Amino acid sequence: MKFGFIGCGKMATALVQGMINGGLCSGEDIIACDISKESLETMAATCGVVPATTNAAVAADSETVLLCVKPADVPDALSVIHNELQGKLLISIAAGVSIATLQEYAGPDVRVIRVMPNTPALVHKGSAAYALGVGTTEADAETAEAVFSSVGRAYEVAESLLDAVTGLSGSGPAYVYLAIEALADGGVRMGLPRDLAVQLAAQTVSGAAEMVLRTTLHPAQLKDMVASPGGTTIAGLAVLEAHSVRGAFIEAVEAATLRSRELGAS
């Protein structure tokens, strides 16, 4: 299958690298274009993709087109490739741009999938959720699954849930970075060198997350496995509960979700 990339930023580059490294395609099977000549040249040099001079050329030579541009640039990007897109699959990662809007600009004969990835895709540990537009096929869903699974994990959801996905996994890395920073600060307060404290905090978060994913145990079960009666962990947990850390995380996801809805409606 021939893939086209409109936009060659960091997320697009991560996807290209994942697709190639995962054996989904070779660099020669990907044609790309970007308004930044430097970004395009970098992707071509590092990934071996075929550079194109226009977005129309990308759409014309591809079976699946990945739209990796800023939300505000979607109308202009799609208007110039409208004719070349007909009968093809369009996968968009433009945040907040609905399937209906994408369909409006792309045309009625274009099959549309909307995706919400997150930044850990840059290190192939991403979480992505995708929603299928009207007329998409099982093969289209498999294509989206394969592309985004190449840089992490991918989940199919109803489009109505993408704002909540944005609030949780889209914004979630920032919440986790804040937690890592705070844990490291605690370590420094108690005498650990800064570099060591950051490494310990980050590895602890990474390891705990992997435990959830691999064991499929409920997080509460895993928490209880660490918290022995009268021990150090339960003492720390009591402080977190007293400061409503659990409630703060819940409200953060809610606030980000509501903001995503606002931006999508504007």
Q: What is the pLDDT of residues 57-112, one digit of tens each?
A: 999 999 999 999 999 999 999 999 999 999 999 999 999 899 999 999 999 999 99
Mean pLDDT of the chain: 96
Q: In a 3-state reduction of DSSP, which class is residue 153?
A: strand
User: Model confidence at 263, in pLDDT bands (50, 70, 90)?
Assistant: confident
Q: What CATH number does domain 170-265 carry, 3.30.70.20, 1.10.10.10, 1.10.3730.10, 3.30.70.260?
A: 1.10.3730.10
DSSP 170: I
Domain boundaries, the chain: 3-162, 170-265
pLDDT in tens, 230-250: 999 999 999 999 999 999 999
Phi, psi at residue 227, to the nearest 5°? Answer: -90, 90
Q: Tokens at residue 114, please?
A: 């909307």
Question: Does this model's pTM top 0.75?
Answer: yes
d(CA 265, CA 129): 20
Q: Which CATH number applies to 3-162?
A: 3.40.50.720
Kindly compute the dihedral angle of the four CA atoms of residues 77, 82, 84, 85, in this order, to the nearest 10 degrees: 90
The angle at the Cα of 176, spanning 196 to 115, to the nearest 5 degrees, equals 135
Between CA 217 and CA 53 the distance in angstroms is 50
